[in-house]
Structure 1
Amino acid sequence: MEDPEGSLCATCKSSFGMFNEMEHWGKIAHHQKYSDLVTSKDIGCFVCTWIWSRCPPQMHEEGVTEDPNEQFTINYFLFVGMYGEGYECRVTFGISCSWAADYELTVRLSTSDEQRNAYHGMVARPWEKLDPYIGSSQSLENVQRWISSCEESHKDLCRSPTEAGAFFPTRILDVQKACFGTVFLRNRDEAMGQRDSGKEDLCCHTPTSTSVHVYPVYWTLSHRWGDPSKINQLNKETEHQLRAGIPLDELSPTFRDAVLFVHRLGYRYLWIDSLCIFQDSDADWRREADTMVDVYRYSFCNISAISPSVDPSLGGLFRQRMDNVRFLYPFTTNISIRIPKLSKLDSGPWIGWNDSIWADEIEGAALHTRGWVVQERFLSTRTIYFTRNQLYWECLGGTHCEADIMIGLVNSRKINDKDFTQRKLGYGYKDSRKEIIKKKATIKARGGRMELYSDGGISPFFWHTILSTYTACNLTKNSDKLIALSGIAKEFRAATGDTYLAGLWKQSLHYGLLWRSETKGGTRVQRNESYAPSWSWASVAAVGTGSGVKLYDIYRRQVDSLIQVTDERIVAEPPGGDTTGLLRSAEIDIKCRLIYFQYENKPMLMKLYIDEGKTQCYGRFTWTDICFDMSDRAERLAEAEVIEGTCIPICKVEDESLFVLVLENVEGKKFQRVGISQCDCRGYDIGGFSDEWKAWWIDGAMNNLAGLITLV
Structure 2
Amino acid sequence: MLSQLCPECSQTLVTLLEGGGRLTRERLTLHPRTCHVCANLYATSSQHFKNPGVVSSASFEISSGPLPGTREVYVDCKEDGPSVSESFLVKPASDYPPRNVYKATPDTFSRSTWSFLRSKLNECLAMHTSCRHIPITNSSSQPTRLLNLRGRTRYQIKLVDMERDSKYSYFTLSHCWGGEPQMKLTRKTEQSLRAGIDSRTLPRTYRQAVEVCRQLDIEYLWIDSLCIFQDNLADWHTQATCMRDIYSYAVCNIAATGASDSTVGLQFDRNPLASVPFEIVVSEQSPSLTNVNSKTTNARYTILPSLRYNHDVTHGPLSKRAWVVQERFLSTRIMHFAVSGVYWECTTDLCSDIHPVSLPEVDEIFGEDYFKLKHMLSTTIDGKTLHSQRAWTDELYRAWSSLADKYSECELSFETDKLVALNGIVQKVAQLTGDFLICGLWKQYFIPQLLWRTSHVTIKHRSNSWLAPTWSWASNQTSFEHTTHLGCGKSREMVTIEHLSMEALPSGQIKHASLVLRGKLVNADLIRNNERYECSLICQPSGDMRKFHAELMEYDQSSPSRARVVCMAIYEDTCEEGLRKHFFDLECQLGILILQQCAPEPTPTYERIGVMFLPEEHCDFYISHESSEEHSIAII
The alignment's TM-score, normalised by the length of structure 2, stands at 0.81
What is the distance in 2 between the residues matched to 1:178 and 1:407? 40
Q: SS where residue 295 of structure 1 aligns?
A: helix
Structure 1 residues 168, 43: CA separation in 2 closer, same or farther (over 3 Å shift)? Answer: closer
Structure 1 residues 166, 234: CA separation in 2 closer, same or farther (over 3 Å shift)? Answer: closer
Q: What residue identity is the alignment partner of 1:537?
A: W
What is the distance in 1 between the residues matched to 2:157 and 2:336? 23
Structure 1 residues 66, 602: CA separation in 2 closer, same or farther (over 3 Å shift)? Answer: closer
Which residue in the other structure is 2:293 paired with?
none
Query: For 2:278, which of 306, 331, 334 is the aligned residue?
Result: 331
What is the distance in 2 between the residues matched to 1:444 and 1:567? 36
Structure 1 contact 5–332 (Cα < 8 Å) conserved: no
Query: For 1:525, which of 461, 485, 490 is the aligned residue?
Result: 461
Which residue in the other structure is 1:316 paired with?
265
Q: SS where residue 589 of structure 1 aligns?
A: strand
The answer on 1:613 being equivalent to 2:549 is no
The answer on 1:273 being equivalent to 2:196 is no
Which residue in the other structure is 2:553 paired with?
629
The answer on 1:594 being equivalent to 2:521 is yes
Query: For 1:572, which of 495, 503, 511 is the aligned residue?
Result: 503
Structure (1 or 2) with the greater helix fraction: 1
Which residue in the other structure is 1:117 paired with?
95
Superposed counterparts of 1:160-559, under 5 Å: 160=134, 167-177=141-151, 180-189=154-163, 213-229=165-181, 231-307=182-258, 309-313=259-263, 315-319=264-268, 321-323=269-271, 325-333=272-280, 350-404=301-355, 407-414=358-365, 427-438=368-379, 451=388, 456-517=393-454, 520-521=457-458, 523-541=459-477, 548-551=478-481
Q: What residue identity is the alignment partner of 1:53?
A: A
Superposed counterparts of 1:673-688, under 5 Å: 673-679=608-614, 681=615, 686=617
The answer on 1:147 being equivalent to 2:121 is yes
Q: What residue identity is the alignment partner of 1:221?
A: L
Which residue in the other structure is 1:40 paired with?
30
Structure 1 residues 455, 692: CA separation in 2 closer, same or farther (over 3 Å shift)? Answer: farther
Q: SS where residue 429 of structure 1 aligns?
A: helix
Which consecutive residues of structure 1, in runs of 5 or more, have no partner in the other structure? 21-27, 59-64, 193-212, 338-346, 416-421, 542-547, 697-703
Deviations 1:245-279 (A, max 9, x none): 10122122211121121122112111000100111
Structure 2 contact 130–348 (Cα < 8 Å) conserved: no
Aligned length: 604
The alignment's TM-score, normalised by the length of structure 1, stands at 0.73
Query: For 2:69, which of 47, 62, 86 is the aligned residue?
Result: 86
Aligned-pair CA distance for 1:582? 1.7
What is the distance in 2 between the residues matched to 1:243 and 1:463? 40
Aligned-pair CA distance for 1:214? 4.1
Q: What residue identity is the alignment partner of 2:553?
A: D
Structure 1 contact 591–705 (Cα < 8 Å) conserved: no
Aligned-pair CA distance for 1:626? 2.9
The answer on 1:3 being equivalent to 2:3 is yes
Structure 2 contact 344–351 (Cα < 8 Å) conserved: yes
Aligned-pair CA distance for 1:351? 3.3
Q: SS where residue 263 of structure 1 aligns?
A: helix
Structure 1 residues 636, 625: CA separation in 2 closer, same or farther (over 3 Å shift)? Answer: same
Structure 1 contact 158–382 (Cα < 8 Å) conserved: no
Structure 2 contact 248–331 (Cα < 8 Å) conserved: yes
Which residue in the other structure is 2:594 paired with?
662
What is the distance in 2 between the residues matched to 1:606 and 1:265? 61
What is the distance in 2 between the residues matched to 1:238 and 1:6? 57
Question: Aligned residues: percent identity?
Answer: 23
Structure 1 contact 452–496 (Cα < 8 Å) conserved: no
Q: What residue identity is the alignment partner of 2:95?
A: N
Query: For 1:137, which of 111, 123, 140 is the aligned residue?
Result: 111
Structure 1 residues 670, 103: CA separation in 2 closer, same or farther (over 3 Å shift)? Answer: farther
Aligned-pair CA distance for 1:511? 4.4
Aligned-pair CA distance for 1:532? 0.7
What is the distance in 2 between the residues matched to 1:412 and 1:445? 23
Q: SS where residue 86 of structure 1 aligns?
A: coil
Deviations 1:627-664 (A, max 9, x none): 322322x6423xx3x65522223444355124422111
Aligned-pair CA distance for 1:468? 2.1
Q: SS where residue 595 of structure 2 aligns?
A: strand
What is the distance in 2 between the residues matched to 1:186 and 1:643? 60
Structure 1 residues 591, 428: CA separation in 2 closer, same or farther (over 3 Å shift)? Answer: same
Structure 2 contact 147–227 (Cα < 8 Å) conserved: yes
Q: SS where residue 365 of structure 1 aligns?
A: coil
Structure 1 contact 175–269 (Cα < 8 Å) conserved: yes
Aligned-pair CA distance for 1:401? 0.9
Structure 1 residues 32, 367: CA separation in 2 closer, same or farther (over 3 Å shift)? Answer: farther
Deviations 1:492-546 (A, max 9, x none): 111211221111112223443343346732x4522351431001111113xxxxx
The answer on 1:690 being equivalent to 2:631 is no
Structure 1 residues 266, 393: CA separation in 2 closer, same or farther (over 3 Å shift)? Answer: same
Which residue in the other structure is 1:647 paired with?
567
Q: What residue identity is the alignment partner of 1:532?
A: A
Structure 1 contact 17–335 (Cα < 8 Å) conserved: yes
Deviations 1:335-370 (A, max 9, x none): 899xxxxxxxxx975533233311022112111111
Q: SS where residue 275 of structure 1 aligns?
A: helix
Structure 1 residues 97, 2: CA separation in 2 closer, same or farther (over 3 Å shift)? Answer: same
What is the distance in 1 between the residues matched to 2:211 and 2:43? 29
Q: SS where residue 491 of structure 1 aligns?
A: helix
The answer on 1:671 being equivalent to 2:634 is no
Structure 1 residues 515, 706: CA separation in 2 closer, same or farther (over 3 Å shift)? Answer: same
Aligned-pair CA distance for 1:552? 5.2
What is the root-mean-square deviation of aligned Cα atoms in Å? 4.3
Moved more, 176-185 or 241-250: 176-185
What is the distance in 1 between the residues matched to 2:59 and 2:516? 51
